Structure 1
Amino acid sequence: MPKKARVNDDAAGAWGSVTAAAASTGMLGAAFEANFQSIARQGQGLATPVLESLLKFSAEGGDMPEFGPGGLDVAIAALYEHDEQFIGAMRGIVTHEKDIVKAVEWWTKAAEKGNVLAQVRLANWYCANHDYLKFEHFVALAALNTPIGDKQYDAKITDALENHTSNITTKREGLKVIRDMYGLNMGDDVVEAFAAPMTCAPPHAAVNLTHHIAKCFMNGIYGIKKNLQISKDYLKLSAKLKGTKKYVEADLERLRGCAKCGGTGAWACALCKVTRYCSKECQEWHWFNGDEPHRDHCPRAETPSKYAELKKITAFDLQITSFA
């Protein structure tokens, strides 16, 4: 019997009852349950538990194409998660303990193979766990192959894709607000590079869009020139959003501390007024040395803080995304 037609010797043929049509119309919950029902009809006393069977099948190079790309990974992820949408009434034959870490690992495997369901599931998971960039990353991947409003996908997927389109606009307008407010010499090409769908791995972790903006100005990425004052303003703004302070405090401490040793930043660079040091020795060393010698990266001009003005603007006007 061909490998793809079986799980193992104990459950040979048990998974062949699910049609591609069921999966293609978004009935993945019904399709998954149908598989369990097929197993149950063979007798509930299978020699090998369901999860173990699928793990063995995966190790042998098997797959479940009826669930789309990486379909077997989807099935294993759902079992680790004890996902009701998939397992349904057949939960009684699941004997293993729930393991979210393993579930995310297998959802990720499926997502990397192009499984839209897995990509949206991970987007929702990272949203709930305060990781804005991974949320954006997996929604962007899902949007590559799924037209908005495609009726073969369920409402959660359609909502995520609509969120993706909105997010691009949000980032574009958000950076324009900064450009105008701080009077930056920033071209539209930089704005578009920042707003582009994040299909590559995120460059850092961020809890919301303001935190992401702060880290972009902190590290100088997407063509954005490094500016620690803007970074500081946006870190403080992000910390004001409900439930997010603990996620950005470490970055604020980094800006407040000595740029060389991390100690107490007793004074700031006389030119930019932002980069801080604990001693003259650290300041002199950092001017010439380190991964980013300050001699090369100091803007040699003070950027006035706009935090007071930022606090007066509503979150809606600033186009802030927060998952708190």
Structure 2
Amino acid sequence: MIPVWFEITSFVVLGAILVGDLVLAYMRPHIPSIRESAIWVSIYVVLALIFAGLLFLLGDTTQAGEFLAGWLTEYSLSIDNLFVFVIIMANFSVPKKYQQEILMVGIILALIFRGIFILLGAALIENFSWIFYIFGAFLVYTAYTQAFGKDHSAEGESRIIAFLRKRIAITDTFDGNRIRTVVDGKKIFTPILIVFIAIGSTDLLFALDSIPAIFGITQDPFLVFTANIFALMGLRQLYFLLGDLVDKLIYLKYGIAFILGFIGVKLVFHALHENELPFINGGEHVEWAPDIGTGLSLGVIVVSMAVATIASLIKMKRDPDLPNPSELHLGSTKDPAEEASTPKAADTPVDKSAEH
């Protein structure tokens, strides 16, 4: 049993680290070097491993193992989320100097959405054991669409952007890191508003995937919360560390899909063990369903990500001309011909008649 004082202390310390990271990104808008990013990512990874060690000392092996498996699962999904962030930033030509602040907003939004879904998921699990059937089926479906389905996010984002531009005055250029600027004496929004909305909607979709996945590993709300927080810590630095490499890890989505599918099947087996539905085995527990332990789950997660990453690196070495995020136009609302004749948002100054 994890002591209450440790849970409270953990949330206070983690909250302080996140706030400090947010303040640092706001006070020092710059492009982190690879060395700086690598150091910070390493620090956050070491902190997660230390936390797992403390769980082992204060709790037991099972809780430490569940945290590690949950953290690695959420970390892999966060990297997938990071890939979309790369595309969004490149798509809207967000100046790199201000990408840190935007990323921190995206991370805070991700924490908020995941926190809401964790509370909802915990309440559903507490009252309806059959919810594991739905979680499992959802993850298996998500795994299939991740690996073989067509991504409709680009079309959805374009519709949202077109809807906003028709109803809200938005400039085609950035004005530093401001959300609103002054043009011809009128206050109007800058493209950062659209970037925030695109990132927020992405966070919401990824939260729908990540929460059933983590509940497939542990139902302890404390471990679920902390695994998500540690997975999102350092994501800003990881963005600058990996850069365009994220887009070239072409087999990463298959590794993540395999993990989601595996956890989905595990959830279905767990639901069969806890079965109370009268139309399945007469409402009795299904004894033949295998019980997949934390150790096996942790091994599958590590091996899946390692194989996907190594295979991607081998492919990248053999084919260095893989696509770059800047070549993808997921958020664009213009025709290619129009884009060719229109200056990039980051390169054109805002025509302002008044300072603000």
| TM-score computed with the length of structure 1 as normaliser | 0.25
Give the structure with higher Rg (CA): 1
Q: TM-score, normalised by structure 2?
A: 0.23
More helix by share: 2
